[in-house]
Amino acid sequence: MKDNGFFTKSFFSLKLQLETLLEGAGGSDASLLLDKLSQLNQSEQRIVLKMMQRVVDRMLAGEIRLETKSDAEQKMFEEQLYSGLVSSLEQTPPKERSNRFHVVDGGKPKNPRLIRLSKTKEDDRAPNLELLQ
């Protein structure tokens, strides 16, 4: 690419940008879909795109979900691992448990405690300031 001109370099840059853009939207499969879509007439394209948008909207809303076998196995593995960790924590004698941590049943805690980072920083600095003085 050392001897290539401005157009060739710009074209190569554009190609890389398009590939990066497509990676976030299905990669080469998205390109294949667009190729097939371009073979339809405009009214067919609009109909197909509206149908696809409805399906994707339903998926995003949680009405329907697709899951591969490996996704299901991964999810089951994670749930078993989590259950094992919780079980081990619950079986640990109270003396060995830290008083700072406890297992919370799913969701948000009933009494959430707000943490102000600026206040925490000031509180952490206060003992050091006393030592310096």
Q: State the total domains in the chain.
A: 2
Domain shared by 20 and 5, yes or no: yes
| Predicted local distance difference test score (pLDDT) of residue 133 | 47
Domain shared by 35 and 57, yes or no: no
Domain shared by 7 and 26, yes or no: yes
1 in a structural domain:
yes
| Mean pLDDT computed over 7-36 | 87
Domain shared by 52 and 86, yes or no: yes
pLDDT digits (tens, 9 = 90+) for 65-117: 788 888 888 888 998 998 888 888 777 776 665 665 666 666 666 676 766 77
Q: CA-to-CA distance for 30 and 38, rounded, in angstroms?
A: 12
Q: CA-to-CA distance for 5 and 14, rounded, in angstroms?
A: 14
Q: Using H for helix, E for strand and C for coil, what is the string for the chain?
A: CCCCCHHHHHHHHHHHHHHHHHHCCCCHHHHHHHHHHHCCCHHHHHHHHHHHHHHHHHHHCCCCCCCCHHHHHHHHHHHHHHHHHHHHHHHCCHHHCCCCCCCCCCCCCCCCCCCCHHHHHHHHHHHHHHHHC
| Predicted local distance difference test score (pLDDT) of residue 126 | 59
pLDDT for residue 58 is more than 50: yes
Pick from 60, 104, 64: nearest CA to 82: 104
Range of the domain at 79: 40-92
Domain shared by 57 and 16, yes or no: no
| Mean pLDDT computed over 31-50 | 92
Domain shared by 10 and 33, yes or no: yes
